Copies of this chain bind each other. A is one copy, B any other.
Amino acid sequence: MSIETALTRLSTLLGNRLSRSKPDLEAHGHSETHFPPAPPDAVAWPETTEEVAELVKICAAERCPVVGWGAGTSLEGHALALRGGVAVDFSRMNRVLKINAEDMDVVVQPGLTREELNRELRATGLFFPVDPGANATLGGMAATRASGTTAVRYGTMRDNVLATQAVLADGRVIRTGTRARKSSTGYDLTALLVGSEGTLGLITELTLRLHGQPEAISAAVCAFPSISDAVNAVIATIQTGIPMARIEFVDETSAEAFNRYAGTDFPQLPHLMVEFHGSPGAVAEDARRFGEIVADFNGSGFRWSDRTEDRTALWTMRHNAFYAGLALRPGASAVVTDICVPISRLAEAVEETRADIAASPLQGPILGHVGDGNFHALLLVDRADKAEMDEALRLSARMAERALRLGGTVTGEHGIGMGKLGYMEAEHGPGWNVMAEIKRALDPHDILNPGKLVPQG
């Protein structure tokens, strides 16, 4: 019973779709962020659910760790192979299996990326809205319960995965959920797998909710004298029931970063960027009513547009915020943070975080999905400088503690991975042990992504 024996057997199963080459191991052993590399012992490229099931059965028999791999875009090192074993790369399982246009759902394989899916959907009048920024795989997005700019309107992966097929730790293949829009038949195994970060099963098929491409889109941007004015405008907008498709907050440092990076001329103030989806009449009315609320909260420079090129420029800028932020300090890396609080506490959370950063030697633009109460600070560091890294991690820890103190969560959308395991007990208390009990029941030999999510040792 050993990893070596497992790899010999897997080689027979997969032929040259199992690799032990150094470049392949390195490519599947690093993360996008600051965690030390942890390569697997081999990389597998299965092509069918049956192959994944066979692979897991072999690994279960040999107690060989199994770690899923999507696009490698996780910011928390979810797919690092802490105990070696096999990285299961889903890039050869990347097909759209069935578009059900009338039902507004689609069945896909886990290795498909969200951008590929939306290209395939273009002619149908439908789209898949969850947008974490990176062109992640849909399997990875489900496994980490990803969200992004559109969650305020369309929800997160929790809301948009209707059903899955998954391979469990003993190689059993299960189907969870159906294509029906709702069901009351027992434990919600779909919701249990979504966000389980590969520790309970490998998702081999997903049925996703789709949404109609909006007939019209309008977008607006405006500046506020203070963070609390901006946040209060958002609260008022939500309470008025104006259906925002996106509402993003950027602080004055972010505005400065945009100006430097893209040659724009935003005042150095907090801004909101908002988008409305609907019929032409509805989005015009939404924008008009939003403008009134903005005025109530001392907003200025309110500009709205339903021209595609203006919107594209706006959201390109927002999507480039990471690079714009990095450009504030040439050569720097970023430690990316991610907390989410009840929206009534958001202004306080952002202001405390900004004061913390101001009092530190680091720069750190703040921006976030303000409709959800979720925000990030991009802490700019020289990764080779231990003192700077320590300071960034200290600021990040203080953000996590702040989120818990304000009734929120230590990660709104990036997941636990390597970076947030240390806060699980503080956030969940005895609930974290319940997670461990579920993990033990479904993966008694701890072969699925070991070292992650549940209490260790």
Q: Which residues of A contact B (CB under 8 A)?
A: 100-105, 125-126, 144-147, 151, 156, 158-159, 168, 172-176, 178-189, 191-192, 194-197, 200, 211-212, 214-215, 235, 238-241, 243, 277-279, 281-282, 285, 289, 340-344, 372-374, 403, 407-416, 420, 423-424, 427-432, 434-435, 437-438, 440-442, 453-454
Contact = CB atoms under 8 A, between A and B. Distances in A.
Contact of A420 (B185, B427, B431): B185
Contact of A184 (B159, B215, B289, B415): B415
B441 A187 contact: no
A30 B179 CA distance: 34
A437 B429 contact: no
A345 B369 CA distance: 37
Contacts of A428: 174-176, 185-186, 189
Contacts of A413: 182, 184
A178 B189 CA distance: 20
Contacts of A408: 178-180
Given A184-B412, A188-B192, A435-B189, A100 B342 contact: yes
Nearest to A211: B241
A184 B435 contact: no
B437 A441 contact: yes
Contacts of A437: 441-442
7 contacts: A145-B182, A178-B409, A186-B453, A186-B454, A214-B241, A241-B279, A440-B441
A94 B172 CA distance: 43
Specify which of A372, A434, A437 lies most central, judged by the most chain B CB atoms within 10 Å of its CB. A434
A411 B104 contact: no
Contacts of A179: 342, 407-408
A251 B341 CA distance: 46
A184 B434 contact: no
Contacts of A432: 186
B125 A184 contact: no
A279 B192 CA distance: 37
A96 B115 CA distance: 44
Contacts of A194: 188
Contacts of A277: 241
Contacts of A454: 186
A239 B125 contact: yes
A183 B374 CA distance: 9
Given A186-B435, A438-B441, A373 B180 contact: yes
B434 A174 contact: yes
Contact of A174 (B125, B341, B431, B438): B431
Given A103-B343, A342-B179, A144 B184 contact: yes
B372 A181 contact: yes
A145 B154 CA distance: 21
Specify which of A241, A432, A438 lies most central, judged by the most chain B CB atoms within 10 Å of its CB. A241
A197 B184 CA distance: 9
A420 B186 CA distance: 10
A411 B343 contact: no
Contacts of A243: 243
Contacts of A342: 100, 102-103, 105, 179-181
A424 B180 contact: no
A28 to B, nearest CB: 22
A410 B179 CA distance: 12
A189 B409 contact: no
B187 A435 contact: yes
A285 B435 CA distance: 48
A278 B183 contact: no
A235 B126 CA distance: 13
Shortest 9 CB-CB contacts between residues of A and residues of B: A191-B191, A441-B441, A183-B409, A102-B344, A180-B408, A212-B241, A180-B340, A174-B431, A103-B342
A441 B437 CA distance: 6
A184 B369 CA distance: 15
A408 B178 CA distance: 6
A255 to B, nearest CB: 25
Contacts of A373: 180-181
Contacts of A100: 342, 344
